């Protein structure tokens, strides 16, 4: 495969020179070719922690609406050391790739994201009163607290 380029971004793969390549994804690693060479994806081993935290947020019913993932995405985007997403689609794809199901659509996150001003945790919402705005920020804060308690 020398001289050929393979670009992987989310679920997009760009292969040049019509090269036949076997790709598989396993727990944040992309395996390329027959030899199974692993390339660690952004976020690496922390992906399992992110998955556990999301599952705990669901169990605690902190994520009570599918659009509450928007507040998790914003918290991740504005926190150094966590994956950052350039679009709701890349966020949902990331969540699927780490093994989560029952996720919102990209359009659901986009609609809520368009109603937010500021940088996490100093957010204001043009579609919510103060009580609901505080709840939304608290979804992101709880995510970060749980994440940080597991990463040391």
Cα(85)–Cα(98) distance, integer angstroms: 15
Q: Is residue 120 part of a domain?
A: yes
Give the chain's residues under pLDDT 70: 1-45
pLDDT of 91: 96
- Of the candidates 125, 122, 11, the residue with the CA atom closest to the CA atom of residue 67: 125
Q: Tokens 């507040």 — which residue?
A: 71
Q: Tell me, rounded to whole angstroms, the distance of Cα 41 from its chain centroid.
A: 12
Cβ–Cβ under 8 Å, residues 94 and 51: no
Query: According to the model, what pLDDT value does residue 30 have?
Result: 46
pLDDT at 82: 94
| Domain boundaries, position 69 | 44-149
Kindly state whether residue 12 falls inside one of the protein's structural domains: no
Q: What is the pLDDT of residue 152?
A: 74
Q: What is the pTM of this model?
A: 0.71
Q: CA 67, CA 119: separation in Å to the nearest integer? A: 18
CA distance 64 to 3: 49
Look at the chain and report how many structural domains it folds into: 1
- Confirm whether 64 is domain-assigned: yes
């Amino acid at each position: 495969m020398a001289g050929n380029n393979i670009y992987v971004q989310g679920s997009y793969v760009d292969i040049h020179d019509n090269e036949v390549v076997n790709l598989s994804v396993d727990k944040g690693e992309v395996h390329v070719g027959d030899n199974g060479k692993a390339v660690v994806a952004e976020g690496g081993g922390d992906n399992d922690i992110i998955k556990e935290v999301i599952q705990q947020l669901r169990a605690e019913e902190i994520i009570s609406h599918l659009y509450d993932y928007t507040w998790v995405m914003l918290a991740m985007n504005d926190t150094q050391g966590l994956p950052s997403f350039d679009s709701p689609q890349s966020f949902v794809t990331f969540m699927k790739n780490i093994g989560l199901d029952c996720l919102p659509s990209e359009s659901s996150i986009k609609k809520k994201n368009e109603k937010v001003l500021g940088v996490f945790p100093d957010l204001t919402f043009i579609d919510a009163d103060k009580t609901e705005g505080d709840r939304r920020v608290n979804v992101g804060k709880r995510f970060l607290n749980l994440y940080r308690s597991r990463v040391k």
